[in-house]
Structure 1
């Protein structure tokens, strides 16, 4: 059943409170370029990062983590083995995990890995329009990590991918599109400076993992994966807007963004959030 936009905003407020209260432990198997920024983003929000991406450690840790991020930005051989191990373990334990299929489509190693992992039940798949189209099998990917497709052109592919995997699919862009294959939401917050900071997109995958509801819903989470993903994207992009107002360029923005995530309150979130159903 479609929930009112006000209900999604209420969920976003509660999800932010839950993250800060529960300090979810987020295992990040992510790329070497963004690891530090990703950890700092999680810390600023109130979550706990753990960059455990070593084969034979990743699986046991995934069972204990609150959420897992698998980001294919720099998938060297040992990390690929660790990702496979972590996903299998998370799936068995009911740990929600997020797949970020960075730069897939034209690069054969990560593309094949992304398809294998996507078949194992991610809670969320996050990517730009070209990555989502490539993972859905309806296009060849973008220009490296950059999208060559518009968000709206990926809407059908996102729905197909969501229905095939059971995941919420989050397509990042000037307007973020999220779907569970039946319902679709757009979030129109954000700022272009977020694309000028290394890790601006990748760190969102970790935030989605922090906000993902557990397999067994709790009083603080009703288990609606789409609503939780919308909450994560809204918090992230509203903080980007706040940060941009105190920045003169990418360098100052990166610092201001961490401060904005740390200081974001419910009143600011409610005032600025721009959430709509398709």
Structure 2
């Protein structure tokens, strides 16, 4: 990897939207950092990315359902790469139809969707913010969902231990991610780091097919919508924007609520384990 190559980390890039996104970026000349939790799948995907990108690409293995897994990934990125031009938080989970009544809890005692879909990208993004700022202009893309539109934050039961609803859990996690994106964009604007979120489209990925009834688009459609936010010169000033596929639209009103976003930020700081880590997280990100 040369010092001038643009570097993009794509989480959850061993299948579905993430894999297609990684390949498209490689075709555009980016050095793509493939991420997954299964070393064999990571190696296979990296081979495809390198084939698409004339030999460019590297990989990291980490389990984002574990707090320490997220921080280990951040540590490795900071130790390995001298720059990071784009962070694409794509990794996500949803409870499938076959186990709709099962509330899944991580080793950290947190509800799975909440930890993987929100806390993991929150922690990873904050930990890598110094590197992103040093690489500016840089960009964070958070892969949200149309479900954010009907999501609600259950402040009295964010882990949904009292009344489980798999779709409510998914929608809550994606709303939290969208709200975080908008708050982060505001806080990092002066540092040359932009952040946007999007619903890439209902694409026929394994997760979508196992969870939702309708998936009218192929995976490539959603991946192109993600990559567009990274490479389209017409969007180089867009930040704090939510896209529904290719259209800018207003997200759930909560994502625009500054007081609510800061309350959420405080919760995430407490649950993510970011505070006290050795790297330099910009001070403005460590307070609500």
Normalised by the length of structure 1, the TM-score is: 0.39
> Which of the pair has the greater relative contact order for Cα pairs under 8 Å at 6+ separation?
1
